[in-house]
Structure 1
Amino acid sequence: MQTVTTFSNHDLRDEIKAYWSLRAETFDTQPGHEIFSEAERTAWQTLLRRHLGDGNDREALDLACGTAVVSHLLDDLGFRVTGMDWAEPMLERARAKARARGRAIRFLMGDAENTMELDGSYDVITNRHLVWTLVDPLSAFREWHRLLRPGGRLLIVDGDFVNPGLVARLARKVSDWLGTGNTHNGPSTGALTATHQSILSRVYFSGGARAEAVVDLLRQAGFDKMTVDTDMRAIHRTQKKNFGFLKGLERATQHRYAICAEKSAAG
Structure 2
Amino acid sequence: MDNLAHGSNFNLRDEIKAYWSERAATFDQSPGHEIFSEDERAAWHHLILRHLGEGRGRKALDLASGTGVVSHLMDDLGFEVTGIDWAEPMLELARAKAKARGRRIAFRLGDAENTMEPTDQYDAIINRHLVWTLVNPAAAFAEWLRILKPGGTLLIVDGDFVNSNRLERLIVRFATVCQHLGIVKADAVRSPDLLDTHRNILSRVHFSKGARADAVADLLRQTGFADVAIDTNMRAIHRAQSKNFSLLKGWARTTQHRYAIRARKGHDR
TM-score by shorter chain over 0.5: yes
1:120 alignment partner in structure 2? 120
Paired residues for 1:147-186 under 5 Å: 147-179=147-179
How far apart are residue 176 of structure 1 and its match? 2.7
My pick for the range that moved more, 165-174 or 66-75, is 165-174
Deviations 1:148-171 (A, max 9, x none): 000000000000011011111112
Counterparts of 1:250 and 1:142 in 2: how far apart (Å)?
34
Deviations 1:173-231 (A, max 9, x none): 12333346xx9x99521010000000000000000000000011101111010111000
Counterparts of 2:50 and 2:202 in 1: how far apart (Å)?
31
Counterparts of 2:175 and 2:242 in 1: how far apart (Å)?
16
Structure 2 unaligned segments of length 5 or more: list them: 1-5
1:3 alignment partner in structure 2? none
Counterparts of 2:16 and 2:163 in 1: how far apart (Å)?
21
Counterparts of 2:198 and 2:123 in 1: how far apart (Å)?
33
Moved over 4 A (4+): none
CA gap 1:95/1:231 in 2 versus in 1, 3 angstroms:
same
Paired AA for residue 173 in structure 2: K
Q: In the alignment, is the contact (CA less than 8 A) between 1:75 and 1:81 conserved in 2?
A: yes
Q: In the alignment, is the contact (CA less than 8 A) between 1:186 and 1:196 conserved in 2?
A: no
Match of 2:226 among 224, 229, 245: 224
How far apart are residue 63 of structure 1 and its match? 0.2
Counterparts of 2:66 and 2:188 in 1: how far apart (Å)?
15
1:60 alignment partner in structure 2? 60
Counterparts of 2:141 and 2:7 in 1: how far apart (Å)?
23
1:33 alignment partner in structure 2? 33
SS at match of 2:93: helix
Counterparts of 1:257 and 1:233 in 2: how far apart (Å)?
10
Paired residues for 1:113-262 under 5 Å: 113-179=113-179, 188-262=190-264
How far apart are residue 246 of structure 1 and its match? 1.4
Paired AA for residue 239 in structure 2: R
Structure 1 unaligned segments of length 5 or more: list them: 1-5
1:21 alignment partner in structure 2? 21
Counterparts of 1:263 and 1:245 in 2: how far apart (Å)?
41
1:47 alignment partner in structure 2? 47
Identity %: 64
Counterparts of 2:113 and 2:135 in 1: how far apart (Å)?
9
Counterparts of 1:237 and 1:143 in 2: how far apart (Å)?
34
SS at match of 2:62: strand
Counterparts of 1:214 and 1:65 in 2: how far apart (Å)?
20
Counterparts of 2:247 and 2:163 in 1: how far apart (Å)?
20
Counterparts of 2:67 and 2:19 in 1: how far apart (Å)?
15
Paired AA for residue 163 in structure 2: N
Counterparts of 1:177 and 1:101 in 2: how far apart (Å)?
42
Q: In the alignment, is the contact (CA less than 8 A) between 1:186 and 1:193 conserved in 2?
A: no
